Structure formats: C-alpha cells, structure tokens
Amino acid sequence: MLETIWFAIWGVAWAVYFMLDGFDLGLGALVPFVAKTETDKRIAVNAMGPFWDGNEVWLVTAGGVTFAAFPTAYAVMFSALYTPFMLLLLALILRGVAFEFRGKVDSPAWRSVWDASLAIGSSLAALLLGVAFANLFAGIPVDGEGVFHGNLFTFLHPYALAGGLFFVAAFLHHGLLWLAVKSDGELRERARVFAAKAWFGALVMAVVFLAWSAVRTDLWTNLLGRPVFLALPVLAVAGLVASTFFSRQGRVWAAWGASSLFIAASAGFGIAGMFPNIVASSLSPSFSVTAFNAASSPLTLKIMLGVALSILPLVVAYQIWVYVRFGHVVDEDVLADEPGY
Amino acid sequence: MDVLLLSRLQFAMTCFFHFLFVPLTLGLSFLVAIFETAYVRTGNDDWRKATKFFGKLFLINFAVGVVTGIPLEFQFGTNWANYSKYVGDIFGSLLAVEATVTFFLESTFIAVWFFGWKRLSKGLHLTSIWIVAIASNMSAFWIIAANAWMQHPVGYVIRNGRAELDNFRQVVTQKFAIVEFLHTAGGAWILGGFFVMGISAWHLARGSHVEVFRRTFRVAAIWSLAMCVFEISQGHLSAEILSTAQPAKLAAMESHWETSESVPMNLVAWPDEKGERNAVEALPIPGALSFLAHYDFKASVKGLKDIPRDERPPVLPVFLSFRAMVGLGIMLFLVSVWAFWKRRQAVEQKLLLRLLPWLIPVPYLVNLLGWTVAEVGRQPWIVYGVMRTEHGVSKIAASQVWGSLAMFFVIYSLLGAVDFYLLLKFARKGPLPETHSASKA
C-alpha cells in the first residue's frame, strides 16, 4: 500500500514538473524566434523570470522522491540513462545561467550568445526528457543486477525519438500560450499565431505517440486492467482540444490552464500505465525494477509520507500565490520600471 | 583510469566547483537581509542602495549555485548506483527533505524578492529575503546531515542487504551533524563577511559611494569578527568528535603515527607515509593534540599505526589541508579584529582598505580546504566503517564517465570565468545612482 502511494506521489511529482517547467522550456526554446526586437525578447525572458527556478525544483524533488522512496530504481534508472542524463544536466546548466547572464553586458553579441544558450539548452532538455521517459515506457536492457547493457544509441530508437518530439511540441505550445498570457498587443498576437501552429504539431505528435505506445509498450494494456485511469488519456485529449478553443477566443489563461492539463494528464497516462514498473527491463520482466522490489523500508516511507503530505500542499500554496502575484502582463513600462532580467 | 577514479574525480570537481557558490549564498543572504532590515527601519536610501548592490552580486552568484547543485544530486544515481541502492533508504530521504522543505522556499522566494521591489509591501519584500536566508541555511543543514551520516552513520540497521532507517531523529540530531553544520555554516558566514568587507573597502579606498560602503563595511566588520570568534570557539568540537567517531582522520590531520599519551602538536612536520613516521618534526606544543581531542593534556590519542593500512586515508593531503585551513583561518580572525577595531574610521585605514579586497579569495580557499580534510579524510570509506568507496560505484562504461568529466570541465571553466567576470564588473561599478534603472543592468 505504502509503495503504491509513493508510486502515485512519484508520478505526480514528474507530472507537475513537466507541466510547470514545460512552459519555460518551451518558451526558452523559442525566444529567438517568436521575439524579434530586444524589447520583445526581454518581455519573453521576464515572462518566465519569477517562475523558472521554482519550477525546476520540481525536478530536484522528483529526483529526490525517486531516491528516497525507490533507491534501487534511482540507482538503476540514473546509471542506465547515464549519458542522456548528463546531457540533460548540460542543457539545464546552459539555459539556467542564460536568464541571469543575458542582460548583464550591454552588447548584442553577448546577448545573442545567451539567447542561443537558452534556446539550445531548453529544447535539448525537452527532447531528452521525452526520450528518457519513452525509454522507461518501452523498457530498457537492464539485467538482474540492474546493470545496463547498451550505449547512448540504445535509447535513440524511433519510438523514443517520437517521445522526444512529443515533449518538444507540447512544451513549445505550452510556452507560447504562456507568452500570450504575459504579453499584450502585437507580441501576444504573434504568440497566439505561433501557438496555433505548435498546437498542430502537438496534436500530431500526441496521436502518433499514443498510437505507437499501444503497439510498442504495455501502457494501454496495463490501463485497461484499471479502467479508471483511462480517464487520463481522455483528460489529455480534452485539455489539448480545450486549449486551442480558448486560445481562439482570446482567453489566454484558460488556454494555458488547458494546456497544463494536457501535459500533466499525458504524463499521468504514461506513468499510470507503467505501474508498478519504474524501470521495465526489456531483457526479462523478472529483471524489472518495480515500486515493490525497489522501495525503501516501511519506516522511511512512512516518515517521508508525513513530510510530503505536510509540506507539499504548502509548496503548492505559495507557488500559486507567486503565479497570482506575478501574473501581470509584462510590457515596456514594466521593463523600464521594475527590476528584471 | 577506471570508473572509480573517474567518478571520484568528477564528484570532487563538481562538488568543489559548486562550493565556490554555496558559501556566499549562505553568508551574503543574511547580510543583504540585514541591510534591507536597516533600510526598512530607517528609511535611509543608502541602505536601499546597499541592499540592491549586494543583492545583484548575490543573484549572479546564486544562478551558478543553482545550476551546479543539480549535477551533484544526479551523480549519486549515475556514478554511485551501488551506494544509492545500499543507503538510499536514509541518505535519499535527507536529500528529498532538503528539496521539499527548503529548496522550494529559497528558489521561489529569491525570485519573489528580485521581481517584487515594486509589487510587494516593504514588509513582505523584507520577509522574502529573510525567507531566502533562513531557507538556504536550513537547506545546508539537511545536506550536512546527509554528509554527516556518511561520516558517522547512526540510526540504521543492516537489513535486506542494505542500510535501513531505524531512528530518523537520531540521524538528524546526532552531534556529528550539528557540529559539522555549525562549522560549515560558520565558514560560509565568514566568507560572506569578507566578501562584503573586501568590496566595501575597494570603494572606500577610491572614495566612491562612501556613505553606502561606510555602512556596509561597519556591519560586515562586526559580522566577520563575530563569525570568526564563533568558528574558532566551536572548531575544536569538530576535532574532539573525530577522536571517537573517526580516529583515522584525526590522526591523519596531525600526521600522528604512534598511539600514545600526552601527544604534542608539532608546528612543523612532514609525513612520510611509506616509513609510517614523520620525516620532519619540530616545535612541538606539549600535550596540545591530547587536549584538542579529549580536553586533557595527558590523554591517549590513537595513532595511524594502530589503524590497518587499508583503512587509512591519504595522510599528506589531509595533513596539509588541515594545516592550511587552520593557519589561514587564524589570519582571517586577526584581520577581522583589525577591521572591527577600526570600523568607525575605516575611510582613513589606507593599508587595511588596500588589503581587504585581496583577501576575498582566502575564505573560499579555507572552505575548500575544510572539505578536503572532511572528504579525503573519510577515505577509503564512502560510509565510514560501513561501505568502502570502491563498493559504491556504478557498473558503467568508463568512456561515458570520461565524456561527462570532460563536459563538466569545459562548461564549468566557462561558467566560472563568466561568473567571475560579471561579479568583478558589477562589484567595481558600485550602486546605481538613479532609483529606477536597476532593471537595465
């Protein structure tokens, strides 16, 4: 029971991470393309300013939950995905410092270096997260000792690349809607036009990935055994449809909220479909690392459950407060008047 | 080189690099909070300028601190999979608590503080920097508790082929964790003080923004002395606790070979590890090591010869790092006395003002030396007495680790250079004259 609860918390932590960091990864990837002038670029960067760091802590938390609740899964997953995760770290470093550095020297060349760093880091991170999770959905060649037999190219099969592109498309769409929320006038219009295009990309990739998952993985078969979770793919589709509907109506907050639902429910679909596997072995099902054979001791799970249930609601509360407090439109006046990147 | 050595190198490098940024966050956050408190209480605009100026340096530093922290968490899984499997039940929980309880707070509220100058009331804005300062330091406590468990494992049982939690309270309240935290945090707080003193002195020597830097100098001089006194007064606790918890480390720190009573501390010595003796030994302070370890000049202290060869840490780096840490630490203390003494007439102290900016790197070095003593001195154990370092490493291809090691080396060198350049640039620039344009820079 405790293991199942922790698997759920584990899944929620990843889903929230993708939902939140998703928009700043997506927008970060597009800053040089959607924003033409330096003012527009600063608006886009400052639209993410108060949030990206707090969002990224959900990754640290998702990692921490894996480590604390399922240490064996942490060991197997991270050592198997060694190179993809090292590249993910590189990507997150490149984009993280770009926020702080880009405005610190008054030179177009300097800024374009950090804009490139932000765009490359953000898109690479989105791609790698998708590739990594598609591999977890499909299973990877780990033996009974949890030792991985393969190399970087083992992970780059077509289904995994489809997963990567699915993440990229969903995040780009999510980020553009966020820019629409945080800007106005011509920039907001451009963000919405771009978002409509990205929406098609997200739709195509979602269909491709969900259909391919039925063939390539056990996700759907698993979910059919627990039909209540079939609500997740339904919610994902509903979120995706609703986001373009709201966006066309100019209700940008609602559109962004629907896109958040799309991403969180998609992640939820994949993770619920994995249960109880965390790292499925493609060599033999008996080698798979599961919520049951990888779990920490009951005492640790209980103590950590107390911590999670008492602290995470507070975290959610103050992060929502920040989104409300800093949900204002960023325009030239705000840039001139207030501190920012 | 094999995976073990490469992984150790990579962890050492990424950890040391990360720790160039952490202590300034821990120390400077309090000083910026103090400056802003003074601003809110007095309404004096010089305090606001001081807050914004050091706040900007804080953020440049913080950015690199954040992005270099995540690789450390990841490496436990990527490079130290067997360690993670074996101790994750305890060690993993401490990292998870750190992320949920404190890292969320500090990362969320630093942004609230930076972006909130115009959007929050003065009181709420001030509260957010205090949240950052307290949460950062609490963060450090959880990380240190995790490290302390590697140094001195308690509250666990070996069950199901791994270390499992038996008593959580014992893990987080053990004396080793408290002592290690106080000593590490003290070092970071000193570093923050010397950072502010050094930059303030640079400006005072040039007569720029004297009203601002006179104030920050005074606060930092009081702070630095207080923290040096704090560090020295509890520093001996760290040595004392080693005499029972990690006698091998203590013996290596002093290059002490024969178990004996009334052990002196040799002011000059040079270890000869092969010959299991000191090649040079001079100027002994009688009974000093005995006193340090047991508050008794006559007490017996275990020597390295009574520890099996394959359980001894490398003596020379531990010994030298400890010497250098203590020596430089005492120098910092003396300088802080001087600065405190002259804090009201700082503007006239030409020599002091010229010296202090050059001393900014010293506490950084002292912090890293302290970690060298702690971590190299723990070898050959990854968890002292429980798991040897070579048993903790992942079964992965060495080529992968070569790749990531090279990647970290290149990207960290670049980051370090850029960050240093920006800190220098904005430190020299001083506070911005007008009230609104903090955004531009």
Write out the DSSP string of B196-211: HHHHHHHHHHTTSSHH
A277: which strand partners? A290
Q: Is a pLDDT exceeding 60 seen at residue B440?
A: no
Residue B441 in this model has a pLDDT that exceeds 50 = no
Residues in B closer than 8 angstroms to A338, CB to CB, are 115, 117-119, 439
Q: What is the mean pLDDT of residues B397-414?
A: 96
| Cα-to-chain-centroid distance, residue B164 | 29
Q: Would you call A82 and B78 a contact, using CB atoms and an 8 Å cutoff? A: yes
For A:301-340, CB contacts with B below 8 A are 303-304, 307-308, 311-312, 315, 318-319, 322, 325-326, 328, 335-340
End-to-end CA distance of chain A: 46
CA B220 to chain centre: 18
Amino acid of residue B66: V
Tell me which amino acid residue A34 is. Answer: V
What is the residue extent of each domain of chain A? 2-328
What residues in B contact A323, CB-CB < 8 Å?
A: none
Contacts of B119 (CB under 8 A, 6+ apart): A325, A326, A328, A338
Closest in B93, B164, B439 to A340, CB measured: B439
**H-helix or E-strand containing B413?**
helix B398-429
Q: How far is the C-alpha of B224 from the C-alpha of B190, rounded, in Å?
A: 5
Give the list of residues 6+ apart from residue B391 with CB closer than 8 angstroms, or none.
Answer: B82, B83, B382
Mutate to test the interface with B, among A16, A59, A104 (most CBs of B within 10 A): A104
For B134-253, where are the E strands, in sequence order? 156-159, 162-165
| Residues B262/B290, Cβ–Cβ less than 8 Å | yes
pLDDT of residue B240: 87
Question: How distant is the Cα of B193 from the closest Cα of chain A, in angstroms?
Answer: 24
Q: What is the pLDDT at residue B433?
A: 65
| Any A CB within 8 A of B103 CB | yes
- Among B384, B390, B310, smallest CA distance to B79 is for B390
**Angle B284-B287-B291 (CA atoms, 0-180°, nearest 5)?**
130
Q: Are B59 and B110 in contact (CB under 8 A)?
A: yes
DSSP SS3 for B187? helix
A-chain residues within 8 Å CB-CB of B96?
Answer: 61, 64-65, 67-69, 304, 307
pLDDT, residue A337, reads: 86
Condensed to tens digits (0 to 9), the pLDDT of residues A122-165 reads 999 999 999 999 999 999 999 999 999 998 999 999 999 999 99
**Contact state of B71 with A89 under an 8 Å Cβ cutoff:** yes
* B165-220 confidence digits (pLDDT tens): 999 999 999 999 999 999 999 999 999 999 999 999 999 999 999 999 999 999 99
CB B218 within 8 A of CB B58: no
> Given an 8 Å threshold on Cβ–Cβ distance, is A60 in contact with B119?
no
Q: Report the alpha-carbon distance of residue B136 to residue B99 in Å, rounded.
A: 11
Beta strands in B57-125 (DSSP E): none
Taking the CA of residue A175 and the nearest CA in chain B, the distance in Å comes to 19
- CB-based contact (8 Å) between B429 and chain A? no
For chain B, give the mean pLDDT: 93
Contacts with B, A 74-113, CB within 8 Å? 74-79, 81-83, 85-86, 89-90, 92-94, 96-97, 99-101, 103-105
CB B275 within 8 A of CB B316: no
The pLDDT value given to residue A98: 96
Q: How far is B84 from chain A (nearest CA, A)?
A: 6
Beta bridge partners of B421: none
Shortest alpha-carbon distance between residue A78 and chain B (Å): 5
Name the closest residue on chain A to residue B83, using Cα atoms.
A75
pLDDT tens digits for range B120-170 = 999 999 999 999 999 999 999 999 999 999 999 999 999 999 999 999 999
Gap between the Cα atoms of A60 and A13, Å rounded: 10
Q: Which amino acid, residue A117?
A: S
The whole-angstrom separation of Cα B142 and Cα B177 is 9
- SS3 at position A281: strand
| Interatomic CA distance for residues A274 and A70, integer angstroms | 15
Contact between A296 and B93 using a beta-carbon 8 Å cutoff: yes
- Nearest in space to B98 (alpha carbons), one of A96, A67, A20: A67
Tell me, what's the pLDDT at B1?
79
Chain A positions touching B395 (Cβ under 8 A) are 79, 145, 147
Mutation target among B18, B93, B413, B420 for the A interface, most CBs of A within 10 A: B93
* Residue B164, φ and ψ in degrees, nearest 5: -115, 150
More confident residue, A143 or B439: A143
CA angle (B433 as vertex; B427, B436 as ends), nearest 5: 105
Question: Which of B104, B165, B394 has the CB atom closest to A57's CB atom?
Answer: B104
**Cβ-nearest to A83 among B118, B162, B400:** B400
What is the reported pLDDT for B439? 43
pLDDT digits (tens, 9 = 90+) for B48-92: 999 999 999 999 999 999 999 999 999 999 999 999 999 999 999
In eight-state DSSP terms, residue A140 is: B
Q: Does residue B172 belong to the interface with chain A, where contact is any CB pair within 8 Å? A: no
Cis ω before B314 (30° cut-off from 0)? no
Question: Which among A57, A304, A325 has the least Cβ separation from residue B103?
Answer: A57
Contacts of residue A302, Cβ cutoff 8 Å, sequence gap at least 6: A2
B163 touches chain A (CB under 8 A): no
Q: Which of A56, A270, A5, A297 is nearest to B65 (CA)?
A: A56
Matching residue, tokens 């391919």: A212
- The nearest CA of chain A is from the CA of B100 a distance in Å of 6
Cite the beta strand spans of B104-237 per DSSP E: 156-159, 162-165
**pLDDT category, B239, cuts 50, 70, 90?**
confident
Give me the pLDDT at residue A101, please.
Answer: 95
Which of A83, A90, A154 is the best mutation test for B, with the most CBs of B within 10 A?
A83
* Dihedral sign computed on CA atoms, order A176, A177, A182, A188: positive
Instruction: Split chain A (341 residues) into runs of 10 and give each run's mean pLDDT.
Output: 95 97 97 93 95 95 95 96 96 96 93 96 97 95 93 94 97 97 94 95 95 92 90 95 94 96 96 94 93 94 95 95 94 89 87
Place B347 in a pLDDT band, splitting at 50, 70 and 90. Answer: confident
**CA atoms of B151 and B371, how far apart (whole Å):** 12
Query: Angle CA(B259)–CA(B234)–CA(B380) in degrees, nearest 5?
Result: 45
Q: Measured between alpha carbons, how far is A194 from B334 in angstroms, rounded to an integer?
A: 62
> What span, in angstroms and rounded, lies between the C-alpha atoms of A231 and A8?
15
In this structure, which amino acid lies at residue A203?
A: L
Which B residues 35-64 touch A at CB under 8 Å?
A: 59-60, 62-64
Contact A294, A73 (CB under 8 A): yes
B256 phi/psi in degrees, rounded to 5: -105, 115
Between CA B314 and CA B379 the distance in angstroms is 8
3-state secondary structure of B284: strand
**What are the start-end ranges of the E strands in B117-208?**
156-159, 162-165
Distances in whole angstroms, Cα of residue B71 to Cα of each of A63, B17, B64, B405: 11, 11, 12, 12
Token pair recorded at residue B207: 């007569």
Closest chain B C-alpha to A165 CA, distance in angstroms: 24
- Whole-number Å distance between alpha carbons of A9 and A136: 17
| Token output for B244 | 């029972």
Q: Are B282 and B346 in contact (CB under 8 A)?
A: no
- Considering only CA atoms, which of A328, A17, A86, A68 is closest in space to residue B165? A68
Residue with tokens 């006038």: A185
Nearest chain B residue to A325 by CA distance is B119
Separation between Cα atoms, residue A289 and residue A276, nearest integer Å = 9
Contacts of A339 in chain B (CB under 8 A): 114-115, 117-118, 438-439
Q: Which helix (H) or strand (E) holds B219?
A: helix B210-245
Q: Is B383 left (phi over 0), alpha (psi -120 to 50) or beta?
A: beta
Q: Which candidate, A243, A265, A263, places its Cα nearest to that of A255?
A: A243
**CB contact A148 to B (< 8 Å):** yes
Q: With beta carbons less than 8 A apart as the criterion, state whether A341 and A42 touch.
A: yes
CA–CA min distance B136, chain A (Å): 14
Question: Cα A224 vs. chain centroid, distance in angstroms?
Answer: 25
The per-residue DSSP string of B256-277 comes to --S-EES--EEEEEEEETTTTE
Residues of chain B positioned with their CB less than 8 A from the CB of A298: none
Nearest to B415 among A67, A77, A97 (CB): A97
Residue A52, both tokens: 């990206």
CB contact under 8 A, A338 and B74: no
Strand B387-388 to strand B381-383: parallel, antiparallel, or no bridges (unpaired)? antiparallel
Give the pLDDT band of residue B438 (cuts 50, 70, 90).
very low
Rounded to the nearest 10 degrees, the angle between the axes of helix A185-216 and helix A2-34 is 140
Chain B nearest C-alpha distance from A12 (Å): 14
Count the neighbouring beta carbons within 10 Å of the beta carbon of residue A225: 9
Query: Phi/psi class of residue B89: alpha, beta or left (left: φ > 0; alpha: ψ in -120 to 50)?
Result: alpha
Give B437→chain A minimum CA distance, Å. 7
What are B4-23's pLDDT values in tens digits? Answer: 999 999 999 999 999 999 99
- Residue B34, CB-side half-sphere exposure with 13 Å CA sphere: 16
Contacts of B78 in chain A (CB under 8 A): 78-79, 81-82, 85-86
Residue B97 has pLDDT above 50, yes or no: yes
Distance from CA of B91 to the nearest CA of A (A): 7
For residue B257, is pLDDT > 70? yes
Rounded CA separation B334/B325 (Å): 14
- Chain B residue whose CA is closest to A341: B439
Phi, then psi, of B281 in degrees rounded to 5: -155, 120
Whether B281 and B268 have beta carbons less than 8 Å apart is answered as: yes
Is there a contact between B101 and B50 (Cβ–Cβ < 8 Å)? no
Find out whether B154 and B174 touch, Cβ atoms under 8 Å. yes
How many angstroms separate the CA of residue A194 from the nearest CA in chain B? 28
- ipTM greater than 0.85: yes
- Out of A146, A304, A339, whose CB is closest to B114? A339
